[in-house]
Chain A
């Protein structure tokens, strides 16, 4: 009786382990990615095209740029697709990546409530707009997570001559979360926020909020692709990863990016080899 109970427990555990045994699909790579490319639906559009062409499955882990870079540095990815050029170049210089290339661009925008308490609507100068938000002490929600968007935001504050660290917790709120979570919080607080245009376009919880500042060249948002140094990846993924990078930079990959539309608007503009 006693042994029967024990053996049935062990049998149960073995059946359970069998049920989740990893599928034998070997032709896949892992892309450590920023979130905007996933949340906007770009991957759902271009990755099936790549799969049809090569039979390679691309598994996307979409986290913030900061976390994506750290994960890739640990060797937990074959390709890095993020938007923080300086950090990407440092990644290659440190030996974690083999090569980096421009893939596409779009731009950041400053969004805020329709009532616009700081009066920045229509401004072209992003830094001046931020300075005005700071003067009005109007609530501003920051990613605060070392992501690509957060890095760009910090550059703009610096340019505006505003020390946001001192204001953190008052009108300046750091969420430490992804873009979508931050936009949800901004919606709840009637706050301003900086977001990439692609995430904003695909975002469902806009409410009465809209784009208030856009078109400043400093809001330029470049996405790069990095081939991760395969020294930490034991199996032969390097060849597949190389194929993916070559494809996304090729005419076909670039055309696939350009053809992705949300509500008739192009969200990403390919600029490989530029």
Chain B
């Protein structure tokens, strides 16, 4: 119990200390993960909404595939991304390996299926309500998808946050394609892995507490935005 408090005190100390290295690591974590979530939403939301709003052959197979891909192991994603981005791989000439861009790509592969699969479910529920209206008004396919995305936007925020949670907490993919390079590609999770391997278990746990605090802050900010958006809508 005593050591729990010591770890917590160390975490608070880390935050209050405002150490420039820690700030850099937190900043990179947020940049990489928010970028990956944004790209995942740009791909996954329209994809999920399309699958949710239409009936076509092979649809069930696509849903099964999307749901299954939610369970992609980060290490496997990291290895695939490494083999693509390595100098010996097909995308080697881009020279993205061991850069934040590589980490963002790996996290995007990881998060896009989550966004697509969850938004498919959300949109499908809305679609069941709207189907008759769409039919009677003769709404075209493009307008259907965008209308559903718009009306489901508050539920889809939670979908994006689920993607954020997955991306910000994973270590397996980013440590392979990022390399955990100091001042270049070190993020919160790889820093935690490094301190654990140095046997600095308390510092590693303190960093974990800081990571949790970041996740709470991001979720809090998203919920505040949502609340004010709802207020504006009904004002």
Contacts and interface: CB of A to CB of B under 8 A. Distances in A.
Q: Is the interface of B mostly helix, strand, loop or mixed?
A: helix
A178 B196 CA distance: 11
B148 to A, nearest CB: 10
Contacts of A166: none
Interface string A209-233: 0000000000000000000000011
A236 interface: no
A62 to B, nearest CB: 7
Nearest to B41: A9
Which 7 pairs show the lowest CB-CB distances between chains A and B? Answer: A180-B197, A2-B146, A75-B87, A205-B199, A16-B35, A16-B38, A61-B179
A43 B186 CA distance: 15
A17 interface: yes
> Could you say which of B32, B39, B45, B101 has the most chain A C-beta atoms within 10 Å of its C-beta?
B39
Given A59-B181, A75-B87, A76-B87, A2 B142 contact: yes
Contacts of B146: 1-3, 5-6
> Could you say which of B45, B95, B182 has the most chain A C-beta atoms within 10 Å of its C-beta?
B182
Nearest to A47: B182
Given A61-B179, A62-B180, A234-B93, A12 B38 contact: yes
Contacts of A59: 98, 179, 181-182, 184
Interface residues of B, number: 45
Nearest to B87: A75
Given A5-B146, A22-B100, A59-B98, A12 B179 contact: no
A10 B42 contact: yes
Nearest to A62: B180
A60 B181 contact: yes
Contacts of B32: 20
A13 interface: yes
Interface string B78-92: 000000001111001
A9 B31 CA distance: 17
A15 to B, nearest CB: 7
Contacts of A203: 198-199
A232 B93 contact: no
5 contacts: A13-B42, A15-B38, A17-B35, A204-B199, A205-B200
B147 A2 contact: yes
Contacts of A205: 199-201
Contacts of A6: 46, 146
Contacts of A118: none
Nearest to B104: A20
Given A39-B197, A76-B87, A13 B142 contact: no
